[in-house]
Structure 1
Amino acid sequence: MEIQWRWLPNLWSWFVVCLLGIMSTPLCAQDEFAKELEQLAVKCEELGLRQQAEITRAWIVADRPDQQVFYPFQNIDHYKPAVNAPQLQKYWYERFSDIRKGEAERLYQQACQLTEDLPQAYRLLHRVLHENHRHLGARKILGYSDSTVLQLRPRTAKAKKAMPVTGWRSGEYFTIKTTHFEISTNASAADGVRLAKELEQMYSVWQQAFVEFWCDTAGLKKRIAGENGVLYNRRVHSVILFDEVQSYQHFFQQRGIPNQNSSGFYNANSKTSYLHPGKLQSNPWVHEVAHQLFYELGPALQNVGSEQNIWAIEGIAIYMESLQNFDRYVTLGGFESGRLQYGRYNALVNQFHYPLDRFVELGNQELTSHPDIAPLYSQCSGLAHFLMDGNNGKYRDSFFELLRKIYTKTDSAGSLAQLTRTSLEQLSREYHEFLLISDQDLDRLRPGTKLKVFCAARGDVTDKGLARLKAYPELTWLDATGCPITDESIPLFRSLPNLVEVTLDGSGVTDATVRVLAELKNLEQLDLANTQITDQAIGYLAGKPGLEVLFLTNTSVTDKVASDLETMVNLIILDLAGTRMSDAVVEKVKSSLTKLK
């Protein structure tokens, strides 16, 4: 039905009356906010505003027990209609904004009453600005005046003097300045500006996540009370961004520093982070800048973690790499965090667990020179995720206190057990329980999550839960070791064309699944150990040139597959232990595959 625009004022009145008329039942404030939004969404559907209904329903960000949500300040009006948008859309936005302004005021009053939990008050005030970025009270407390908001924007200039540390001459590089960072780069100005924006966002998230670490809570308390107070001694952090990986590597080679293959490097002596664009598409640079913030906004004592507890310093920086940007909010942590997958894999598949009583004793030199450095780093990652988010953040405050002790050099190898009031043996058990996931966890994945690697090993993940991964065609590694999945997951594998590595050890898949996996063009590693496959499965894989690793351990394949295996000429690893193949045939196959290790 065509709407007569001359009736729109009356229509809007009816629109509002309908919304207000069903709010008579008393509700708790948060439930009332959700109900008001749902009522608005229903009315939008009745009026044919489907997109606005979807936006309204998706506005409230769901809580998760294993993940934190933060709201970096953004001086924008989300979803504001264009000037020439239909009038109904403008009416929707007016009501949408009014509902959120009401919620902002409620949250503001709640924050002002949290005098005994000032870190939570600080975080809550950012939620206020998420609902109403013009809220004067919240902006004043947090220091977001019009002038400081302008300073958050990157300001770019061609350098007018040489930079001795890099050898860049005047005019050969750019300087990009924001409120908290100064970036020098011989890359493009656009690259520098993009990094500056990401750094400011990361800075806001770091501040909200670790209020206890940097904030003068007495100053925050004064501000909440309407008095003047200083939150912290602001400083500008130095970052050097090289134009390409080779320039970065050459810089460190010249100085004899053996970290030229790293994703970034923070030098505590010069208080500078060195980065390169090869890693700016993901989050490894966050790792180095996290080190920088903890060090420079803390006591800045030399050689922290040199004697013990280096795991916590590295672990919390890896935890920061889990940062995911969902446009109007950011998350940290979560069972799907990229680096946590390797922690889960090494602990539950490789059965790697460095005893905690020895783990906490490791200093920086011992960790970086350890022959098991890769799995040790994955344990740093896993343990940090556990202490931050396990059991609904049960140990988070204790972990914060441990970090404070480490950065003030008042820690000991016994600090973790002392601060958590839990034995290391008990922490180890709880950590392993934390690593296990289920279908319920997969149901919590947020729309828009970036997921390239995923390990569900030993978890209670079924075909139904795994099907949630259809939304992530960019996935390159999937490990379902020991999971009760079957050939019902064939549609999933068909939807993941970029898979490079698949592990199905101990699952219930059969030849039918292998037939689909054989069609994956990028497949390089396949683990079918302890499955019900037969000789037919190997026939599907015959002649696959990209396959480099194949595990057939404890399967029923026989000598008949020898000729098919010999066509996989690029195999580097082939495990035939526990199969029905004779020793002589196994030896013949392996001798014909010249690349086997």
Structure 2
Amino acid sequence: MNSTATTASRRRRTAAFRALVAVVASLFWLSIGPRPVAAAEDYLSAALKLTEDFRANLEQLAALCEQRGLSEQAAQTRGWVKPPDPTRLFVSVLPVEIGPPAPPEGASADVAAWHKRFYELRSEQAGDYYALARKAVKARHASLAFDLIMAALHEDPDHKSIRQMLGFRQYRGQWLTNYEMKRAQEGYLWHERFGWIKRNLVGQYEEGKRPSDKGWITAEEDARLHADIRNGWVIQTEHYNILTNHSIEEGVALGAKLEGLYRVWKQLFIRYYASEAQVAGLFEGRAAKLQLPQHNVVHFRNRQEYVAALSPGYPSIGISLGIYISGPTPVPTPGPPPISKKSAMYFFAGEDSDVPTLYHEATHQLFHESRQVSPMVGQGGNFWVIEGVAMYFETLKQENGSHVLGGFDTERVEVARIRLFEPKYRFYEPLAKFCELNITDIQSDQDLIAKRYTQAAGLFFFLMHYDNGRYRDAAVAYLNAVYSARDTVKTLRQLARTTYEELDRQYAEFMKGPGETVESPAGAPAEPNADNTNSLQ
């Protein structure tokens, strides 16, 4: 077989497995550069064989269901492994409760037998994926290994070895992280309205009582005591300290949103903050060494207070919807825990608040604080990718038991397509030039800033999804280099192992979409305001 045919075959097999993983698992893209396809060929082939055998076993079960008149169960079985939407990423939300769901109440003996066999097949498949993952990580194919273990968790969320590897422990019928288990052992529980509170105080909280230095007071009195942001409530979650003067409930809801984003980010970008050796160590029970910091958030009651507090240091803050500031906070905040004099994200409640902006700025915070970064980030060029990844996380939503990222139907991608294909509104700077632009080049040109942000959003979407994720590892490695200030104008093309001209061509090809046309707007495309997504770093 000639080299061209061999490469094409490898790409097809690689793409097929990546497509499988996208639908059946939350994904980790871990290697610092593109995966060496030739070296991983045996493992990719083995993974495909496992999947083909699994599909065959499911088909046998579906056929048996049809013989017994279980048409609904047959359809569910056949639909379990199906091609995903290649323009979106699905990251499974892992259940807290241990054990598979019970058969429907009053189920017939045939339905109960199907239910038992369906979960048996999935559990067996999870074991096969895990065994192959252990072999892959020993062969230094960490990215493929994590793809496999996340596929395994989709089939069996209770796989004990994998759950423990990811930091979960069994406690009273639930899977909890070490932090969650420690709080539970201390007598706390997570309340959807009030956050971490003592179990024996739930009744008082739900009756409208709040603890104080002088005993129990009303919720209204408690609100008056915390009306000034300097004396606001401090809501603690596993990865965030949130200072708010709106309400306990609003702070807890904000914390839940941020924890969801955090877990997705941590899975997708593990090779940003963990070395190859640390990733391999996860398979050997050394997960405790991956200790990441908590992140600070200051959450104002309304936009007016947000602007008033920040405008002395940042006169243009009034045009923003949220901001991440790397450096001492201008808002003095007595502890504990002390948030003052630390980097923080600033946000506000009310009608003007914007969840995509929250996710955007929180993404900046995670990349900036989860490992040491250079003070020269974005100064030498390649600034676009810093904003590109933050805009990618603006698309985060939850549906059908998964966190979802990406999609052609997201606002920034829709505008990027118009800018690329509509002659009247066309704007595209070739990557060779775009990668030369630093933070000043992009943010100081008011005529082009919104258009350049739009292009950055489209390009990062392309890097994450083109050809079933061909450039995902390169995207993570690119961010690694940029935040370390080890990047040059050539970095992206070197990591992608192609030319900028070819990447430009592939971007245009990808953004057309499969059999889609770009709708002509009635007027000029309404670009999302880039000023709402600036971070001061």
C-alpha distance in 2 between matches for 1:209 and 1:279: 30
Structure 1 residue 149 corresponds to structure 2 residue 177 = yes
Match of 2:145 among 121, 125, 130: 121
Match of 2:459 among 383, 387, 390: 383
C-alpha distance in 2 between matches for 1:222 and 1:357: 38
Alignment-derived partner of residue 344 in structure 2? 272
1:423-434 → structure 2 map (5 Å cutoff) = 423-434=499-510
Match of 1:249 among 307, 310, 331: 307
Alignment-derived partner of residue 233 in structure 1? 291
Question: In 2 relative to 1, CA 254–214 (structure 1 residues): closer, same or farther, beyond 3 Å?
Answer: same
Q: Secondary structure at the match of 2:90?
A: strand
Cα distance, 1:109 vs. partner?
Answer: 1.0
Cα distance, 1:430 vs. partner?
Answer: 2.1
Match of 1:218 among 262, 274, 277: 277
Question: In 2 relative to 1, CA 204–50 (structure 1 residues): closer, same or farther, beyond 3 Å?
Answer: farther
Match of 1:284 among 344, 348, 357: 357
Structure 1 residue 131 corresponds to structure 2 residue 155 = yes
The structure that is helix-richer by fraction is 2
Cα distance, 1:318 vs. partner?
Answer: 1.2
Alignment-derived partner of residue 433 in structure 2? 358
Question: In 2 relative to 1, CA 123–188 (structure 1 residues): closer, same or farther, beyond 3 Å?
Answer: farther
Question: In 2 relative to 1, CA 28–430 (structure 1 residues): closer, same or farther, beyond 3 Å?
Answer: closer
Alignment-derived partner of residue 6 in structure 2? none
Instruction: Give CA deviations for 1:246-295 in whole Å, capped at 9, x if unaligned.
Output: 43333333543413332321111132122234577743321111111111
Structure 1 residue 296 corresponds to structure 2 residue 318 = no
C-alpha distance in 2 between matches for 1:183 and 1:95: 46
C-alpha distance in 1 between matches for 2:249 and 2:151: 30
C-alpha distance in 2 between matches for 1:272 and 1:130: 35
Q: Is the 8 A contact 1:159 1:175 kept in 2?
A: no
User: Greater CA deviation, 199-208 or 144-153?
Assistant: 144-153
Match of 1:32 among 50, 53, 59: 53
Amino acid paired to 1:149:
T
Q: Is the 8 A contact 1:81 1:90 kept in 2?
A: no
TM-score by length of 2: 0.69
Question: In 2 relative to 1, CA 422–216 (structure 1 residues): closer, same or farther, beyond 3 Å?
Answer: closer
Match of 2:444 among 365, 369, 388: 369
Q: Percent identity?
A: 29
Alignment coverage as a number of residue pairs = 420
C-alpha distance in 2 between matches for 1:290 and 1:45: 48
Amino acid paired to 1:358:
K
Match of 2:317 among 259, 267, 284: 259
Q: Is the 8 A contact 1:220 1:231 kept in 2?
A: no
Q: Secondary structure at the match of 1:293?
A: helix
C-alpha distance in 2 between matches for 1:78 and 1:63: 26
Alignment-derived partner of residue 308 in structure 1? 381
Question: In 2 relative to 1, CA 305–85 (structure 1 residues): closer, same or farther, beyond 3 Å?
Answer: farther
Instruction: Give CA deviations for 1:268-326 in whole Å, capped at 9, x if unaligned.
Output: 11321222345777433211111111111121332411331110100111122233422
Instruction: Give CA deviations for 1:46-80 in whole Å, capped at 9, x if unaligned.
Output: 66666555544443353344443322433247982
Instruction: Give CA deviations for 1:183-238 in whole Å, capped at 9, x if unaligned.
Output: 222334333333323322222221221122112331332342x4545452221111
Q: Is the 8 A contact 2:98 2:158 kept in 1?
A: no
C-alpha distance in 1 between matches for 2:406 and 2:420: 18
Alignment-derived partner of residue 216 in structure 2? none
Cα distance, 1:239 vs. partner?
Answer: 1.9
Alignment-derived partner of residue 80 in structure 1? 101
List alignment gaps of at least 5 residues for structure 2.
1-47, 181-189, 198-209, 214-221, 328-341, 527-537
TM-score by length of 1: 0.62
C-alpha distance in 2 between matches for 1:249 and 1:82: 54
Alignment-derived partner of residue 393 in structure 1? 469
Cα distance, 1:396 vs. partner?
Answer: 2.8
Structure 1 residue 341 corresponds to structure 2 residue 414 = yes
C-alpha distance in 1 between matches for 2:80 and 2:300: 39
List alignment gaps of at least 5 residues for structure 1.
1-26, 443-455, 458-478, 482-502, 504-524, 528-548, 550-597
Instruction: Give CA deviations for 1:514-558 in whole Å, capped at 9, x if unaligned.
Output: xxxxxxxxxxx579xxxxxxxxxxxxxxxxxxxxx9xxxxxxxxx
Alignment-derived partner of residue 168 in structure 1? 229
Q: Is the 8 A contact 1:220 1:230 kept in 2?
A: no
Q: Secondary structure at the match of 1:260?
A: helix
Alignment-derived partner of residue 252 in structure 2? 193
CA RMSD of superposed structures (Å): 3.5
C-alpha distance in 2 between matches for 1:72 and 1:279: 29
Q: Secondary structure at the match of 1:114?
A: helix
Q: Is the 8 A contact 1:75 1:133 kept in 2?
A: no
Q: Is the 8 A contact 1:242 1:248 kept in 2?
A: yes
Amino acid paired to 1:126:
M
Amino acid paired to 2:81:
I
Q: Is the 8 A contact 1:205 1:330 kept in 2?
A: yes
Match of 1:178 among 234, 237, 245: 237
Amino acid paired to 1:395:
Y
Question: In 2 relative to 1, CA 228–37 (structure 1 residues): closer, same or farther, beyond 3 Å?
Answer: same
C-alpha distance in 1 between matches for 2:114 and 2:308: 57
C-alpha distance in 2 between matches for 1:60 and 1:121: 20
Match of 1:204 among 257, 263, 282: 263
Q: Is the 8 A contact 2:229 2:244 kept in 1?
A: no
Q: Is the 8 A contact 1:309 1:406 kept in 2?
A: yes
